[in-house]
Structure 1
């Protein structure tokens, strides 16, 4: 039997993908239900897909208020910062994502960065 869509979708700027058993939202933040969190993430992903990266950064930041340990959201916000040319902010979020989950493949390159 299929799992509900919300539990099998990865939170990604590239759209829904398999999450691989990672829980997307471990705790409700101040004023956030799990549904509110998921809606913020959906809106963030949509904004990225539409090229509205400033909006995406704001929405990902809101989602992180609800789940500050969510490495996927840090990774996605890092990508949005990168698209805006905000390289220091992108690196900071990538480092945070890698710290929270050292095996997360989207942040593996931060170990090999070149200092400018």
Structure 2
């Protein structure tokens, strides 16, 4: 599986924006494709992008702390130091909204196991 197969059409813009943001956070970050999603990890995985429809994807991010925003689909507390944030993404601008909050950096810190 690769980006063209997993994120065709309008989804490609979303993938491209996310990939540039996350891979730009450090050389140690690894991008991995599966049949259903792309994930990014360092010492552990911290961001996932899953296509839902031909025009919508689900962005999932693990972070140390719980964050709030009207655009969040849900926040799941798995344990005292892991909050999984789920965001419906319809455009690359949605990725930029998350980036402006610094959440990708926070999520990468969780993935690196550096608080």
Give the greater-gyration-radius structure (CA): 1
Whichever structure has more helix as a proportion of its residues is 1
Scaled by the length of structure 1, what TM-score is found? 0.29
Whichever structure has more strand as a proportion of its residues is 2
